[in-house]
Structure 1
Amino acid sequence: MRRQSVIAIAIAVVLGLVAVYLANSYFSAREAQLDAADQGTTQVAVAAVPLAYGTEITPDKVRFADFPNDVLPAGVFTSVEELLPAGQARHALRPIQINQPLLATDLTGEGEGASIAALLPDGMRAATVQVNAVSGVAGFIKPNDTVDVLITRLAIGGSETVTDVLLQNIRVIAMDQDAQGENEQPALSSTATLEVTPVEAQKLALGQQLGTLSLVLRKPGEEENIAFVETVSLDDLRYELSAGYVRAPQLTDDAPRVQPTRTAPARRLTQRATQRRTAPSRPPEPETTKVEITRGLQSETYEVGE
């Protein structure tokens, strides 16, 4: 009798534990559903596999995941029909990582292929300039980097060579034909395609005719431009302030030019040198009497001592 009671109690305990586990699982799942219902979620298309630039978007490369409505990004796709209309493919405009939402700004339009033009924001243009190993920062410039553009030219009305800052904080779209920048190793390029406004595109075109353009790589996230930039000329390389020379200020063409001077050290005067020296007085001249004699039209003066 006692053995049967122990077995019955053990079975009851096991069943009780199972019931507690099932109840806990049920209420936990129910609580999660209620929380999701309170927040509100939407199924959006995300990348099922990594997508490179130019990759065609197909149903096997896409899956749908729940996103809370309060953090839902703009431009998402909520259905396959919206993402991939019948017979109209889309392509990736930039690399997209797995589980990253597919946004309208990351894909081409319906039935369009991937191109540089699709990467341009509204009102912007793509302009290409020639670069070399030096002006292109030895191949370290990659697509989506930001650069400043310098121009080295002859000064107006003279033969002096000067360098100016032509443009600041310009985004690089592509180096040669590479718009992805997947190669992590520096690669020398002969051209750089920049994202500019229409007026900036005109400046680049004119600058290439007047002088030599150079690119200067900027730090990522540094968007503040220099309000006042200086023109660098040969004078900035010729004079060394550490050598004690004083550089003359910049003057206009019609203003007098002052050559840089170097002041000589002052000499200390001794007490003897500062004393005033009086010159010896000349002896007084003897007193004389002047007599004027006139002969005809001529007159002569004679001195007669006393």
Structure 2
Amino acid sequence: MGVAILIGLAAVFLANSYLGRVEQQQNTSPQGTVKVAVASVPLDFGTPITPDKVRLVDWPAGSLPEGTFSSIPQLLPMNHTRVALRPMAANEPILRSKISGEGGRAAISAVLDPTKRAVAVRLSDVAGVGGFVLPGDVVDVLVTRTPMNPNGNSQQITDVLLQKVRVIAIDQDASDSTDKPAIGKTATLEVAQVDAQKLALAQQVGQLSLALVNPASEASPTVETVSTDDLRDGAYVGGYSDGAPRYQPAPIAYGPPAGPRMPPKPPAPNPDLTVMVVRGTKDSSYEVGRYVGR
């Protein structure tokens, strides 16, 4: 019995010591936690935010993201509706930058860069990379047109109009969490103001196509123009000019490549003739020059 009492006292002492240290650590912590409104269910672009889709959780005050809400009345004052402008996962903090204003709607303009413009371009199943261009992707914009050169001739050419442009919507879908290919009729691109003018003009003079780009790739400092003269495997790209094409295809050689052309050798000089004359027992030799052409 005495041993049991000693063991019990030791257990109580250790438990009190542990709890005391935890309490002291909490009391001496420079920062505690605060309430933060998070999404209780996944929220897609344009989803109305209602109290049943929001819950409050404890969040470390030292790592609090900017633009959070500490209560549901602060998030939805006077039951005003807000909508999600960015997809949010469950338990993700609801930030001011990801939702509309009070009584707002799912407007693309709310998520645009202040220096950019949103321009819609026509698409087809081919021009839209078979439906694999989705919101959030990065693309190059190509334009195919038929200009006239000073000689009065015309031929189709393709230029790189814009590089590394962000797609913000396909048709009316602006959710960048979409992962299934979908063929759309229009693509809304985020571009600078002068690039918006280029897109508007290019749609009138030619046909636009999109090329998917790896977001980590770098834009090419120089772009080339491809014409119908370049439609051969291994042909030089960029031979088109406003005048006649600069590129001239080399003749096809069948066989080993010829070496450098050597100048013709001059004709060898004609050697002199030697005539032997025998007189009796004596002979004599005489050199006689050869007439040219004989």
* C-alpha distance in structure 2 between counterparts of 1:108 and 1:45, whole Å: 15
Structural mapping, 1:1-306, within 5 Å = 7-35=1-29, 38-39=30-31, 41-157=33-149, 158-222=153-217, 224-238=218-232, 240=234, 253=243, 259-262=248-251, 274-276=267-269, 280=291
Contact residue 56 and residue 91 of structure 1 kept, 8 A: yes
Contact residue 34 and residue 59 of structure 2 kept, 8 A: yes
Change (3 A) 1:18 1:165: same
Identity of aligned pairs, percent? 44
Q: How far off is 1:68 after superposition?
A: 3.8
Contact residue 164 and residue 215 of structure 2 kept, 8 A: no
* C-alpha distance in structure 2 between counterparts of 1:142 and 1:78, whole Å: 34
Change (3 A) 1:72 1:181: closer
Contact residue 239 and residue 247 of structure 1 kept, 8 A: no
Contact residue 247 and residue 260 of structure 1 kept, 8 A: no
Q: How far off is 1:186 after superposition?
A: 1.6
- Deviation string 1:141-176 (CA, Å, 9 cap, x unpaired) is 111111110001113424121111111111111112
Q: Which runs of 5+ in 1 are unaligned?
A: 1-6, 283-306
Change (3 A) 1:191 1:117: same
- Deviation string 1:17-75 (CA, Å, 9 cap, x unpaired) is 1331233023224313423xx14544322222222222222233223334444433222
Amino acid at match of 1:275: A
* C-alpha distance in structure 2 between counterparts of 1:106 and 1:270, whole Å: 81
* C-alpha distance in structure 2 between counterparts of 1:117 and 1:258, whole Å: 46
Change (3 A) 1:248 1:281: farther
Amino acid at match of 1:230: E
Task: Provide TM-score, normalisation by structure 1.
Answer: 0.75
* C-alpha distance in structure 1 between counterparts of 2:102 and 2:238, whole Å: 64
Q: How far off is 1:252 after superposition?
A: 7.0
Contact residue 224 and residue 238 of structure 2 kept, 8 A: no
* C-alpha distance in structure 2 between counterparts of 1:122 and 1:34, whole Å: 44
Amino acid at match of 1:116: I
Change (3 A) 1:64 1:251: closer
Q: How many residues align?
A: 268
Change (3 A) 1:125 1:14: same
Amino acid at match of 1:142: L
Contact residue 225 and residue 240 of structure 2 kept, 8 A: no
Bigger drift between 212-221 and 156-165 goes to 156-165
3-state SS of 1:86 partner? helix
Change (3 A) 1:124 1:247: closer
Q: How far off is 1:82 after superposition?
A: 2.4
**Considering only aligned residues, what root-mean-square deviation do their CA atoms show, in Å?**
3.4
Which residue is equivalent to 2:278? none
Contact residue 226 and residue 237 of structure 2 kept, 8 A: no
3-state SS of 1:43 partner? strand
Amino acid at match of 1:59: P
Answer with 1 or 2: which has the greater Rg: 1
Contact residue 225 and residue 237 of structure 2 kept, 8 A: no
3-state SS of 2:197 partner? helix
Task: Provide TM-score, normalisation by structure 2.
Answer: 0.77
Higher normalized helix content (fraction of residues): 1
